[in-house]
């Protein structure tokens, strides 16, 4: 059996660990918001590059154009998934 002083000390230690974990999660939430904003800027920041790739003919025999279209498609899928997670984390209620 714990004594009253051991209980009090234990509760204070639990409180401190919760406080530290909350601070970590608040930083995670903040960083996710920053990541979301940065990701959201990509389409505008690279509009010319993306438009040029989009203008490449479908089924082109040009190796570079095919590879650029393929890589853009893979990055777009990764972007969409990551942006969704960043938005969810940034919107998390830490109440």
pLDDT at 48: 98
Q: What is the pLDDT along the chain (95 residues), one digit of tens a residue?
A: 999 999 999 999 999 999 999 999 999 999 999 999 999 999 999 999 999 999 999 888 999 999 999 999 999 999 999 999 999 999 999 98
pLDDT at 1: 93
pLDDT at 7: 98
Q: Are 53 and 72 in contact (CB under 8 A)?
A: yes
Q: Where are the domains of the chain?
A: 26-90
CA distances from 11 to 6, 20, 46 (A): 8, 14, 53
Cβ burial, residue 50 (10 Å; 0-12/13-18/19+): middle
C-alpha closest to that of 92 among 17, 26, 40, 37: 26
DSSP track, 25-87? HHHHHHHHHHHHHHHHHHHHHTHHHHHHHHHSPTT-S-HHHHHHHHHHHHHHHHHHHHHHHHH
């Amino acid at each position: 059996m714990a004594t009253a002083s051991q209980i009090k000390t234990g509760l204070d230690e639990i409180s401190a660990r919760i406080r530290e974990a909350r601070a970590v999660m608040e930083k995670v939430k903040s960083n996710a918001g920053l990541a979301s904003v940065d990701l959201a800027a990509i389409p505008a920041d690279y509009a010319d590059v993306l438009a040029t790739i989009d203008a490449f003919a479908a089924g082109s025999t040009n190796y570079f154009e095919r590879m650029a279209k393929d890589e853009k498609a893979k990055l777009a899928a990764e972007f969409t998934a990551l942006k969704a997670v960043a938005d969810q984390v940034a919107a998390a209620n830490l109440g």
